[in-house]
């Protein structure tokens, strides 16, 4: 169960990435149906920590704050150099005892120096992926994704991708309702499709305002129906080729991929919020039948719809107290 979070700030820390951790995990959102975490920012020792922008922040906790945290966050810093041995030891110890470890942007280099990327898929900001791969050849660096989860270690790409990774962890541990509650308060989409190639594009929210906004909104209202590219292209008054190209430019993925993701999110919501039978959830989400929905759940979430409901089912306000056991438990 994700209850306690410790974010590590080292000299040269990036204020934005550190603030991402503070925003996602440091605010009590129980008044709007979201979760609350025991959150602390810590450093090698209590006191002022210089940031990359010249100003200082003051931390009141040392690295002992990481000793019993369910999640340890390594914020971006002046990588690629290694932080202190004390920080590396704290990261290793957190992983060894089964805590989640999350790096934001260049924080991935600290995980690399700690040996936590060896044999794992990972990512970082697109400007640093080649350097990360060169320095840590035992890691598999993916430059095209917003974040990667691999056996208890989560790495995120640059800047705003830290929001995606943080919300992914909340969704992974507490369910889609908890992640959506945080996203609403942050005024960000609860999930972005695509990868780092979309860094110059505007992420598509649940109800998009771009050129394809009306078409995407129509899809969300008709997920329980058959949806085809020719049908959507006609609605957009475009040729199929132009529509497919424009769709990828706006969303970072294909029409089929985007629709499948929205159906999965709809199914998660229905499983969490309603007592509908699994077969009816599959129909309303557009999967047609329960076996098809089960296939998508296992492939995308590593669990079955029934196990997902057992873990996350309940009223929207219950997200902060749900158990994370069962199919959604963190991999060993």
Structurally, how many domains does the chain consist of? 2
pLDDT digits (tens, 9 = 90+) for 212-246: 889 998 999 999 999 999 999 999 999 999 999 99
Q: What pLDDT does 194 receive?
A: 58
84: DSSP letter: -
Residue predicted with more confidence, 31 or 317: 31
pLDDT digits (tens, 9 = 90+) for 247-283: 988 887 899 999 998 999 899 889 988 999 999 999 9
213 and 294 together in one domain:
yes
69 and 108 together in one domain:
yes
Q: Is residue 187 part of a domain?
A: no
Put simply, whether the predicted model's pTM sits higher than 0.75 gets the answer no
Spatial contact of 24 and 35, defined as CB atoms under 8 Å apart? no
Q: What pLDDT does 193 receive?
A: 63
Q: Which of 56, 28, 26 is nearest to 41 (CA)?
A: 26
The tokens describing 235, both together, are: 């609605």
Whichever domain contains 85, its CATH number is 3.40.50.880
Spatial contact of 158 and 126, defined as CB atoms under 8 Å apart? yes
Q: Is residue 209 part of a domain?
A: yes
Q: What is the mean pLDDT of residues 18-47?
A: 96
Q: What pLDDT does 302 receive?
A: 77
168 and 210 together in one domain:
no
Q: What pLDDT does 196 receive?
A: 61
Task: Tell me which residue range forms the domain holding 165.
Answer: 4-177
Q: Is residue 129 part of a domain?
A: yes
Helix, strand, coil share (%) of the chain residues, nearest 5: 50, 10, 40
């Amino acid at each position: 169960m994700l209850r306690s979070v410790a974010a590590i700030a080292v000299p040269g820390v990036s204020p934005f990435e550190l603030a991402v951790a503070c925003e996602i995990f440091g605010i009590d959102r129980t008044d709007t149906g979201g979760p609350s975490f025991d959150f602390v920012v810590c450093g090698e020792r209590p006191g002022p920590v210089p940031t990359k922008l010249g100003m200082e922040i003051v931390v009141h906790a040392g690295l002992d704050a990481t000793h019993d945290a369910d999640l340890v966050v390594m914020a971006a810093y002046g990588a690629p150099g290694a932080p202190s041995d004390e920080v590396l030891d704290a990261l290793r110890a957190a992983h060894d005892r089964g805590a989640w470890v999350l790096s934001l942007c260049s924080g991935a280099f600290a995980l690399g120096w700690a040996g936590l990327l060896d044999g794992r898929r990972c990512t970082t900001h697109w400007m640093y992926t080649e350097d990360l791969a060169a320095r840590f050849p035992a890691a598999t660096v993916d430059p095209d994704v917003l974040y990667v989860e691999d056996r208890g270690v989560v790495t995120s790409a640059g800047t705003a991708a830290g929001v995606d990774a943080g919300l992914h962890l909340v969704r992974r541990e507490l369910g889609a309702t908890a992640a959506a509650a945080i996203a609403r308060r942050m005024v960000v989409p609860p999930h972005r499709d695509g990868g780092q190639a979309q860094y110059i594009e505007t992420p598509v929210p649940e109800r998009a305002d771009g050129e394809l906004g009306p078409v995407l909104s129509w899809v969300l209202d008709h997920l329980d129906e058959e949806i085809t590219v020719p049908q959507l292209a006609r609605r957009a008054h475009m040729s199929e080729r132009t529509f497919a190209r424009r769709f990828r430019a706006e969303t970072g993925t294909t029409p089929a991929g985007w629709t499948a993701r929205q159906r999965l999110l709809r199914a998660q919501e229905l499983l969490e919020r309603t007592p509908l039978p699994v077969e009816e959830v599959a129909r309303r989400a557009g999967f047609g039948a329960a076996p098809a929905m089960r296939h998508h759940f296992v492939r995308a979430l590593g669990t079955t719809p029934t196990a997902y409901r057992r873990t996350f089912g309940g009223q929207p306000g219950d997200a902060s107290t749900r158990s994370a056991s069962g199919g959604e438990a963190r991999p060993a």
